[in-house]
Amino acid sequence: MGLRHIVAGVVMALGVAVVPANAQGLVPAAPPVAPVPPERPACREVADLPFLTIDPDSAARLGAIGLSRAAIFAQMHETSIPETMGCWAMPVGNFDSQLVSVGMSQWNFGTGSLQPLLKAWKKARRGRFGRERRALMPAYGKTIFSRDCLAVPVKDKCREKILAAHGADGKLNPVIRGEFNALFESDAMLQVQLDTYLVLLEAVRQDLLRVFPEGPITLRKVRWAVDTKVQQGGFPLDEDLARLRRKLAAMSEGERWERLGAIFAWYGALSRSIDQDGVQRDWAWNMDRWRCLLDTRRIDPEQYEMLHLTFLRSRTAIGNSGRWQALTFERRAKIILGVGSVSGKTDGECLR
């Protein structure tokens, strides 16, 4: 009830300006300055490289929804920003209960998304596998490519060995972190990551036709769908989409901005709560700019519907008991509005 009371008060501020937003403690008195992103360590950055190949048939299908080769790599880089700060590797440990996450899309052992990449790399190396594994991962390669670690879910023996490779600070020790970097920045693994991402993009193409059956499929929708697929694996069910659209169609014009304000208020209140991570440097800047867009009515019908669809899916983000719900909404709202901050990286602006 406490959260609903907070949201209700903020909605009034956003919708009819009965209570100043500052009185609700939602937005600082002065417009917040743009957050400073953390310094990125030296890494191999996600980008198009001449040796990376895309199957011509796949390229043709993706081209039909506006994804040229350049657009594919631009989308990969965009996906990697909140995941790895734009790097091909950047392994992290068990902070989110996924054991190890690595790669431009942060594939991990916990969800079983990492094992297929390891198997694909092993298969691609054929007779060179043993030699290259020892060269790239001399200390931990035998463990990482063991049957216990390639199983889904990983076996207890694998879990114990990887957890033992974490330091007292809960992070991967420098040796295993360096070896994962070496593997995931290798040319062959870059191709595996690209191939895996292309499969995701092909699936997104089918999802878009279901979620937006009346079209058109804009680049904004493609970017939104990719982020949804990467972070949550799928989209709302048809019955949920139909229910939401019935409610949107029945809504009076006078309700439109108050309803959207309520969603922004949910994000703002959630960001300030005790168990939300990944949004601390961003939420105040986002709330200030998104309020500006709302107050000046600079949100078009496509953006309006997509924000409601994002709310529908974000509130079902259950990882770590909902720890990432605000971040989930933040990532997609930035894509939809073209204005926002994620992981300290700001784009766009709203001038009053």
Residue at which a domain ends, from 204, 227, 259:
204
Mean per-residue pLDDT of the chain: 90
Residues 113 and 160 in one domain: yes
In a domain? residue 227: no
Residues 68 and 157 in one domain: yes
Cα Rg of the chain, angstroms: 22
Residues 200 and 82 in one domain: yes
**Which residue pairs, CB below 8 angstroms and at least 24 apart, start in 280-285?**
281/35, 281/36, 281/341, 281/343, 281/344, 282/35, 282/330, 282/340, 282/341, 282/342, 282/343, 282/344, 283/326, 283/330, 284/27, 284/28, 284/32, 285/32, 285/33, 285/34, 285/35, 285/341, 285/346
Buried b (16+ CB within 10 A) or exposed e, 86-108: bbbbbbbbbebebbbbbbbbbbb
Residues 16 and 63 in one domain: no
Determine the structural domain holding residue 102 and report its residue range: 56-204
In a domain? residue 341: yes
Residues 25 and 64 in one domain: no
Within a 10 A sphere around the Cβ of 296, how many other Cβ atoms? 11
Across residues 7-23, what is the average pLDDT? 37
In a domain? residue 212: no
Residues 69 and 118 in one domain: yes
Residues 6 and 72 in one domain: no
Q: Which tokens in the block code for residue 116? A: 């297929």
Percentage of the chain exceeding pLDDT 90 = 75
What pLDDT was estimated at residue 159?
97
In terms of Cα–Cα distance, which of 345, 349, 347 is closest to 86? 345
Residues 342 and 293 in one domain: yes
Residues 196 and 281 in one domain: no
In a domain? residue 217: no
Tell me the helix, strand and coil percentages in the chain, rounded to 5: 60, 5, 35
In a domain? residue 41: no
Residues 92 and 17 in one domain: no
The pLDDT tens digits of the residues spanning 198-212 come to 999 999 988 998 999
In a domain? residue 49: no
What pLDDT was estimated at residue 156?
97
Residues 163 and 64 in one domain: yes
The confidence band for 258, taking pLDDT boundaries of 50, 70 and 90, is very high
Across residues 266-270, what is the average pLDDT? 97
The pLDDT tens digits of the residues spanning 214-233 come to 878 888 999 999 999 888 88
Q: Give the total number of structural domains in the chain.
A: 2
